[in-house]
Amino acid sequence: MANCIIHPIELFEMNSDKSSFTYRLNVAQRVMLPGYIWYIEGGGERILVDAGGDVEYMWNIRAIPARDIETVESGLGKLGISPDDIDLVILTHLHQDHVGQAFRFHKARFVIQRNELDFARDPHPSVAASYNKRFFKGLNFEVVNGDTKISEGISVISTPGHSMGGQSVCVETAQGTAIISGICSIRDNFEPPPPVTLPVIAPGVHTNVLEAYDSLLKIKEMADIVVPSHDPAFKNVRSIP
């Protein structure tokens, strides 16, 4: 087993209605949630998961209150690398808060699921505001279909439902398999608090709520360490595990 390490880098935080993450629950409960990129150490190439969001777009187009926490350059600089050092960016999906800073990685290839890329290029009007082609136009895509090994100790699994072709990232660590959820999620999605008795809670934002539920369950069953993509628990964490 590879001994990879995941380094969370918080780029922004957003003021969100919690029901956007917990389907039909916590309506009108406001929460401050972080947006991360994740640098994986030990996978051979220099690999990043997701590419950050554009706070100005969130404010002006999506009307989501948000603020910058750290720049891509500053966050990676603390690890002794720069955006130009990144070989590969695994995009969990193409919502603007996960691809908005992709233009900074001039030399990288970008791994994406075929279904996600096709949908993002011609999205359904009901979810079109989550996609903006200027954020991913011209990227050097490496397109995959379904569960795929990326490098030694790193693979992607198909987890649709939050978006049409979402994927999550499996990382082999010294403490087992960590999975960075490609479904926008918090800890409650995987560990529902009482009185909820379901094993997972589907996200409030989805293209297919049934698929999203099944994808969360897939992650929970496969992972030794679940990494919800917007959970505040990783704000001051330097490494996982």
Q: Could you read off the pLDDT tens digit of each residue along the chain, which spans 241 residues? A: 689 999 999 999 999 999 999 999 999 999 999 999 999 999 889 999 999 999 998 888 778 899 999 999 999 999 999 999 999 999 999 999 999 999 999 999 999 999 999 999 999 999 998 999 999 999 999 999 999 999 999 999 999 999 999 999 999 999 999 999 999 999 999 999 999 999 999 999 999 999 999 999 999 999 999 999 999 999 999 999 9
pLDDT of residue 17: 95
Asked, for residue 73, whether it belongs to a domain, the answer is yes
Asked, for residue 222, whether it belongs to a domain, the answer is yes
- The total number of residues shown for the chain amounts to 241
Non-local CB neighbours of 80 within 8 Å, separated by 6+ positions: none
The two three-digit tokens of residue 149, written as one number: 């090994």
DSSP assignment letter at 193: P
The two three-digit tokens of residue 237, written as one number: 């964490």
pLDDT of residue 52: 96
Range of the structural domain that residue 33 is part of: 5-234
CATH of the domain at 70: 3.60.15.10
| 111 within 8 A of 144, measured Cβ to Cβ | yes
Asked, for residue 125, whether it belongs to a domain, the answer is yes
Q: The whole model's pTM is what?
A: 0.96
Asked, for residue 241, whether it belongs to a domain, the answer is no
Asked, for residue 240, whether it belongs to a domain, the answer is no
pLDDT of residue 62: 79
Taking the mean position of all CA atoms in its chain, how far away is CA 56?
19
pLDDT of residue 64: 87
- The beta strands (E) that lie in the chain are given as 5-17, 30-41, 47-49, 66-68, 88-90, 109-113, 141-144, 148-151, 154-158, 167-173, 176-180, 225-227
Asked, for residue 239, whether it belongs to a domain, the answer is no
3-state secondary structure of 221: helix
DSSP 6-44: EEEEEEEEEEEEGGGTSTTSSTT-EEEEEEEEEEEESSS
| Residue entry with tokens 């959820």 | 181
The two three-digit tokens of residue 15, written as one number: 């003021």
Tally the domains of the chain: 1
| 59 within 8 A of 66, measured Cβ to Cβ | yes
